[in-house]
Amino acid sequence: MNAAATVSRPTVLLVSAALLSTGLVGGGYLLGDGLRRARMAERSVTVRGLAERNVTADLATWTIAFSETGTELGPVQGAIDEKSRAVRAFFARAGFPANAVSDTGASVNQFFDSNRQQNVVTVRRRLQLRTTDVMRARAAFARQADLIRAGVALEEGSGIVYSFTKLNAIKPQMIAEGTRSARQSAEQFAKDSGTDVGGIKSATQGYFSIGARDGDVDGEGGGNAGSSPFQKVRVVTTIDFYLR
């Protein structure tokens, strides 16, 4: 038998033990490193970032609802037509073109009044101003008493609504502002806790809300989004940052 090919049993056991020891050390290192990384991954902070932007409405819609009541349809309809002309004349004097005003609905209600023993006819009509000349519409709305003096009694459903239609144009900038605001909060937290801010673990974008600015309310909107042309857009972004 070749002596070089002969290996004693103690030598084999020694080599096997060395390999096993090396494997255990390597495995222990990988396990420990994995646990460390897992613990690092669990360290995070959830913060919210606020972005606000003052805007001015770029569309105004003013609906005027009115009615006339009588005993015969013909005269009642004639009176409604006269009121419609008064409304259109009001807007013309305010500087709006004729095509800015449109009919948005009409209805007729008839019944027999047994107490008075007569037929009762009520015709209702709605006209709407739709314009991008928001400040002119606001000024005209402040003079709506002129319509009442002209015999047009405004009914429920009348009112002006201001809309901001360019939200998509400012969304990217506001989202970026909200993210920066959230990171600033996370950095302050990390500084107080002796850590550093890492990447984003998860993020949730809130919905965009539009409302009247504080103290800016026209008509009877009560601070709702369309109650004033001077509005504020808000969005809150919730972000979970890693800490390292």
168: pLDDT confidence band, cut at 50, 70 and 90? very high
Q: Is a pLDDT exceeding 60 seen at residue 207?
A: yes
User: Distance between CA atoms of 221 and 207, rounded to whole angstroms?
Assistant: 22
State residue 205's pLDDT score. Answer: 86
Residue 34 pLDDT exceeds 50:
no
Residues 136 and 204 grouped into a single domain: no
Share of the chain above pLDDT 90, in %: 64
In this predicted structure, what is the pLDDT of residue 55? 96
End position of a domain, from candidates 104, 125, 160: 160
Quick one: 212 and 178 in the same domain?
Answer: yes
Averaged pLDDT for residues 133-156: 95
Q: What are the DSSP E strand ranges found in the chain?
A: 44-56, 59-70, 101-113, 118-131, 159-163, 197-205, 209-212, 230-243
User: What pLDDT is stored for residue 169 in this prediction?
Assistant: 96
Of 10-14, 32-36, 113-117, minimum mean pLDDT range: 32-36
Quick one: average pLDDT of 6-20?
50
Q: How many domains does the chain have?
A: 3
Same domain, 21 and 66: no
In this predicted structure, what is the pLDDT of residue 4?
47
State pTM to two decimals. Answer: 0.74
Same domain, 86 and 142: yes
**Adjacent-strand bridge partners of 101:** 129
The distance from CA 2 to its chain's CA centroid, rounded to whole angstroms, is 88
